[in-house]
A and B are shown apart, each in its own frame.
Chain A
Amino acid sequence: MVRKSLLSKLIEQRTLVLMSVPLLLWLFVFRYIPVWGWTIAFQHFRPGTKLFDQEWVGFDNFKFLFQDESFYRVMRNTLAMSSINLVLGFITAITLAILLNELRHLYFKRIVQTISYMPHFISWVVASSIIVNALSTESTGIVNLILLKLGIIQEPILWLAEGKYFWGILGTAEVWKNLGWNTIIYLAAITTIDPAQYEAAEIDGASRLQRILYITLPGLKPVIVILLILNLGNILESGFEPQYLLGNGLTADYSDNLDIFVLKYGIAMGNFSFATAAGVFKTVISFILLFSANHIAKRLGQPRLF
Chain B
Amino acid sequence: MKATKMRFFLLALVIMLALAGCTKGNNEAKDSSSASANSPSASESSGDPSSSASASSEADKTPVTFSYFNAAVAGKDGNTNETVLGKLLEDQTGVNFKMEHLVGDLNTKLGVMIASGDLPDVMVPDSGIDKMLDAKAFIPLNELLDKYGPNIKKLYGPYWEDMKSPDGNIYIIPFAANNGFVPDMYQPGAFYIQRGVLKEFGYPKITTLDEYFDLIKKYKEKHPQINGGDTIGFDVLTDDWRFFTLTNPAPNLAGLPNEGEVFVDMQSHHAAVTGDKDFMKRWIQKLNEANSQGLLDKESLVAKYDQYIAKLSTGRVLGFFDYGWQIIPAQQNLLQAGDDDRRYMGFPLVFDKGTKDQYMDPPKFVANRGIGITSKAQDPARIIQYFDNMVKEENQKLLFWGEKGKTYEVDDKGRFYQTDEQIKQTQNPDFQQSYGFKYYSYYWPMGAGLFSDGNSYFADRQPEVIEKSYSEGDKTLLNAYGLKVFTDVYSPPDERKWYPVWTANKQQGSPEQIFEQKKTDLQRKAFPKLILAAPAKFDALWNDYVADFNKLDVKAYEDWANGVVQDRLNGKKR
Contacts and interface: CB of A to CB of B under 8 A. Distances in A.
Nearest to A64: B509
Interface in B229-264: 229, 238-239, 243
Nearest to A159: B302
A102 B302 CA distance: 43
Interface stretch (A11-19, A80-88, A209-217, A221-229): A221-229
Nearest to A40: B32
Contacts of B299: 136-138, 158
Contacts of B28: 37, 262, 272, 275-276, 278-279
What does DSSP make chain A's interface, helix, strand, loop or mixed?
Answer: helix
B39 A226 contact: no
Contacts of B107: 267-270
Interface of A: 30-31, 33-38, 40, 44-51, 70, 132, 136-139, 158, 160-161, 185, 188-189, 192, 194, 222-223, 226-227, 230, 234, 237, 248-253, 262-265, 267-276, 278-280, 282-283, 286, 303, 305
Interface string B1-42: 000100110011001100100011111111111011001101
B471 to A, nearest CB: 30
B72 interface: no
B28 to A, nearest CB: 4
Interface stretch (B208-216, B278-286, B377-385, B513-521): B513-521
Contact of B238 (A47, A249, A263): A249
Nearest to B232: A138
Contact of A31 (B26, B33, B39): B26
Given A35-B26, A46-B135, A270-B131, A252 B32 contact: no
Contacts of A276: 28-29, 32
Interface in B62-114: 105, 107-108, 110-112, 114
Interface string B355-392: 00000000000000000000100000000000000000
A148 to B, nearest CB: 15
A104 to B, nearest CB: 25
Contacts of B302: 158, 160-161, 248, 250-251
A227 B15 contact: yes
B298 interface: yes
A48 B119 CA distance: 12
Interface string B139-162: 000000000000000000000000
Contacts, number: 176
B508 interface: yes
A8 B512 CA distance: 65
Interface in B109-132: 110-112, 114-115, 117, 131
Contacts of B137: 47-48
A250 B108 contact: no
A137 B298 contact: yes
Interface stretch (B267-275, B476-484, B495-503, B526-534): B526-534
18 contacts: A30-B30, A34-B26, A37-B29, A37-B32, A40-B33, A47-B35, A48-B114, A48-B136, A136-B299, A137-B298, A137-B299, A158-B299, A188-B11, A223-B11, A249-B528, A263-B108, A272-B28, A274-B509
Nearest to B30: A34
Residue among B4, B32, B43 facing the most chain A CB atoms (10 A cut-off): B32
A97 B16 CA distance: 21
B491 interface: no
B112 A267 contact: yes
Contact of A268 (B16, B27, B111, B301): B111
B419 to A, nearest CB: 43
Interface in B530-552: 532
A269 B508 contact: yes
A25 B457 CA distance: 61
B243 A270 contact: no
A276 B111 CA distance: 13
Interface of B: 4, 7-8, 11-12, 15-16, 19, 23-33, 35-36, 39-40, 42-43, 105, 107-108, 110-112, 114-115, 117, 131, 134-137, 229, 238-239, 243, 298-299, 301-302, 304, 307, 375, 508-509, 513-514, 517, 521, 523-525, 527-529, 532
Given A48-B40, A132-B307, A249 B15 contact: no
B25 to A, nearest CB: 5
A262 B31 CA distance: 15
A161 B298 contact: yes
A222 B33 contact: no
Nearest to A137: B299
Contacts of A192: 4, 7-8, 11
A250 B23 contact: no
Contacts of B115: 47, 267, 272
Nearest to A30: B30
Given A40-B33, A192-B8, A48 B23 contact: no
B6 to A, nearest CB: 11
Nearest to A32: B26
From B25, B108, B135, B527, residue with most partner A Cβ within 10 Å: B25
B29 A44 contact: no
Nearest to B116: A47
B301 A250 contact: yes
A136 B230 CA distance: 14
B42 A48 contact: yes
Given A249-B528, A272-B115, 20 more contacts: A31-B26, A33-B33, A37-B26, A44-B509, A46-B508, A47-B115, A48-B39, A49-B40, A137-B298, A158-B302, A161-B301, A188-B11, A248-B302, A250-B529, A252-B525, A263-B108, A267-B108, A269-B514, A275-B32, A303-B8
Contacts of A303: 8
Contacts of A227: 15
Given A36-B33, A158-B298, A268 B108 contact: yes
B8 A34 contact: no
Q: Top 8 A-B pairs ranked by shortest CB distance?
A: A249-B524, A37-B33, A37-B29, A48-B39, A34-B30, A268-B107, A48-B135, A47-B135
A263 to B, nearest CB: 7
Given A132-B307, A250-B302, A267-B112, A35 B29 contact: yes
A268 B25 CA distance: 19
A250 B532 CA distance: 10
A49 B114 CA distance: 12
A49 B105 CA distance: 25
A248 B30 contact: no
A264 B108 CA distance: 9
A270 B29 contact: no
Given A34-B26, A227-B15, A270 B517 contact: no
In the complex, which of the residues A37, A46, A48, A70 has the most CB atoms of chain B within 10 Å of its own CB atom? A48
A46 B32 CA distance: 10
A192 to B, nearest CB: 6
A35 B26 CA distance: 8
A253 B33 contact: no
Contacts of B532: 161
B15 A185 contact: yes
Contact of A283 (B26, B112, B529): B26
B151 to A, nearest CB: 31
A230 B112 contact: no
Contacts of B528: 161, 248-250
Contacts of A264: 517, 521
A192 B307 CA distance: 49
A269 B509 contact: yes
A192 B9 CA distance: 12
A171 B229 CA distance: 32
B378 to A, nearest CB: 18
A127 to B, nearest CB: 14
B40 A50 contact: yes
A265 B517 contact: yes
